[in-house]
């Protein structure tokens, strides 16, 4: 944005969201290291996913394409060119997968296991 290559409507929400999640990661990691499992880690992952979805949505909406939802100048075309194209193509899916795996692991750690008998087994 500062170089005039990306629109403000994309750069500010995406950048500020990344900064907020990055700062929060330090506190969540500290709590997890101390063995404190709680809603903070869950909310961290949910908000991380929201940040990624918002950035991806705005980036798509402001891209020069046949279906263009946001008419801004400059467009988000710079993100579709190498090396920045690696961010939506590789880094965002990886980050989303990591947030989803973290949520699954947190759910397993926070929800107590119930004693169930597998279907078809005899007790």
Contact 50, 99 (CB under 8 A): no
Q: What is the mean pLDDT of each run of 10 residues along the chain (123 residues)?
A: 91 95 95 89 96 94 86 90 91 96 92 64 58
Distance CA 79, CA 59 (A): 8
pTM of the model: 0.82
Taking the C-alpha atoms of 94, 95, 100 and 105 in order, what is their torsion angle to the nearest 10 degrees?
100
CA 55 to CA 66: how far, in whole Å? Answer: 20
């Amino acid at each position: 944005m500062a170089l005039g290559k990306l629109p403000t409507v994309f750069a500010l929400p995406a950048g500020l969201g990344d900064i907020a999640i990055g700062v929060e990661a330090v506190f969540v990691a500290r709590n997890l290291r101390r063995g404190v499992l709680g809603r903070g880690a869950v909310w961290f992952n949910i908000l991380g996913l929201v940040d990624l979805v918002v950035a991806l949505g705005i980036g798509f909406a402001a891209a020069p394409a046949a279906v263009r939802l946001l008419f801004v100048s400059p467009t988000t075309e710079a993100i579709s060119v190498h090396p920045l194209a690696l961010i939506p193509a590789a880094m965002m899916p990886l980050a989303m997968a990591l947030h989803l795996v973290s949520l699954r692991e947190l759910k397993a750690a926070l929800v107590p296991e119930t004693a169930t008998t597998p279907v078809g087994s005899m007790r």
